[in-house]
Structure 1
Amino acid sequence: MSATRVIVAMVGLLVLAGCATAPRTDSPASDPLDSWTHRQQILSRQPAWRMTGKLSIQTPEEGWFASVGWEQRGEQFTIDLRDSFGRVVARIEGDDQRVMLTRHDGSTARAASPETLTRQLFGFALPVSGLRYWVRGLPGARVDSEALAATRRLDSSGRLKHLEQSGWSVDYQHYQDAEPVALPGKIAVAGHELRVKLVVEAWETPAVSAQWR
């Protein structure tokens, strides 16, 4: 092989090696506040979603553990709580005006809100109305923007890391891939002598909620 061909071959190998070993350069990260605003806009256009996971509730006296399935369609929601055998032991369903709990034996209880219902039945008010938003990494409805800005912490991707609202402290410990944006995978909520932990196993956010009919 001629010297010229050897040089050309060596240059070619060096170029290929550089292409193989050069670290990937992602586009520069946008401002977290801009990303946060963009996330809120995207999620606000998705009023229908499903989530399954594991839920734990701890009070000063005792604790509860269950598998949870949550389906939200606008203001309407259905929450199934299952035991370790996968049996539905309780279903909470309703909207922003009324809510009903159905036990595994078919008995029911009703109230104007899930917080009122859970307080009547269990002695504590589970913040379902807030969790509806927190579980997707959003502040609850009717939020005080100044109070939110004072307590909110974002990560470098513009996702919530910490939030305080209505006497509740919400910490986001993990996010998981989802479409069209990453969604919380592990959440810890504390307040009002109650601790709630949620580990999300799967998200489903179809573009058209009518697909579930």
Structure 2
Amino acid sequence: MRFPAIALTLATLILGGCTSLQVDPLPEGLTEQPPASWNEYRARLNQFQQWELTGKLAVRQPSDSGTAVINYWNQNQEAYELALSSSFLGMGRTTIEGMPGFVELTLPDGEQYQSGNPEALIEAATGWQLPINSLTWWIRGLPGPDGDYRLFFDDQDRLAVIRQKGWEIRYDRWQAFIEGYPSLPARVTAVKGEKRVRLAVTSWRQTDGDSR
């Protein structure tokens, strides 16, 4: 696989341009004692496994920074499909399709790359150390099933921070997107060392699992 070519194309698509990403300090007053409703809340979110969201991604890392539009992120159980594009460059869409143990990357020119190690391929292509399998859990406000974790709650009994796999996932805002479901994350900031990834969600919707 020609990783330098992938890295140049995808990094330009996602990380090109210049953007400012402000990360607030970890707030004081958090507790690791879960609220009485946490188990019920977590069980409800665990049932939410077929969904689609749209939004925007902002990235800052030592080498570069920028923004990308998430045209859609479609999740069907463990399988996912993300379509990303750079609004400020006006370039075409890049898609990432996969599941635990497999990923396929499709560049704007239609060129495709596959790997049995999703995180390795994404890192080789973009420079990100992005735990994609865990992210499908974190984006719902849940710890991933693999690896130890710590949860921190605020004074309103909301999940404020997950620490897992060296990442600190900060839940900056929650919103009731879907009738009959608990509030879902509307803005999330993931921090690992000098890397900062912020996701602002425009919409969530429940799907029936049909593929695109």
Decide: shared fold, TM above 0.5.
yes
Q: 1:96 to 1:197 in 2, by over 3 A?
A: same
Q: Which has the higher contact order (CA 8 A, sep 6+)?
A: 2
> Which residue of 32, 35, 57 maps to 1:33?
35
TM-score (norm 2): 0.76
Alignment partners' CA distance in 2, 1:88 and 1:133: 28
Gaps of 5+ in 1: 1-30
Instruction: Report the equivalent of 1:198.
Output: 199
CA distance in 2, matches of 1:166, 1:105: 34
Are 1:80 and 1:88, in contact at CA under 8 Å, matched by a contact in 2? no
How many angstroms does 1:32 deviate by? 5.2
Q: Is the 8 A contact 1:114 1:126 kept in 2?
A: no
Matches within 5 A, 1:25-174: 33-68=35-70, 69-84=72-87, 88-144=92-148, 147-148=149-150, 152-174=151-173
Shift of 1:91: 0.2
Kindly, what percent of the aligned residue pairs are identical? 32
Alignment partners' CA distance in 2, 1:91 and 1:157 = 37
State how far apart, in whole Å, the 1-side matches of 2:184 and 2:140 are.
6
Q: What displacement does 1:123 show?
A: 2.2
Higher helix share: 1
When the two structures are aligned, how many residues end up with a matched partner?
A: 176
Give the 3-state SS of the residue equivalent to 2:35 in structure 1.
helix
TM-score normalised by length of structure 1: 0.75
RMSD over aligned CA atoms reads 2.1
For 2:123 and 2:106, the matched residues in 1 are separated by: 15
Question: Does structure 2 conserve the Cα–Cα contact (< 8 Å) formed by 1:32 and 1:155?
Answer: no
Q: Secondary structure at the match of 2:182?
A: coil
CA contact (8 A) 1:58 1:64 kept: yes
Q: Distance in 1 between matches of 2:92 and 2:157?
A: 36
C-alpha deviation, 1:157, in angstroms: 4.8
CA apart distance, 1:167: 0.2
Aligned-partner Cα distance in 2 for 1:135–1:159: 15
Mapped to 2, the partners of 1:142 and 1:58 lie a distance apart of: 26
CA contact (8 A) 1:78 1:93 kept: yes
Q: What SS does structure 1 have at the residue aligned with 2:36?
A: helix
Asked if the contact 2:172/2:188 (under 8 Å) is kept, the reply is yes
Q: Aligned AA for 1:165? A: Q
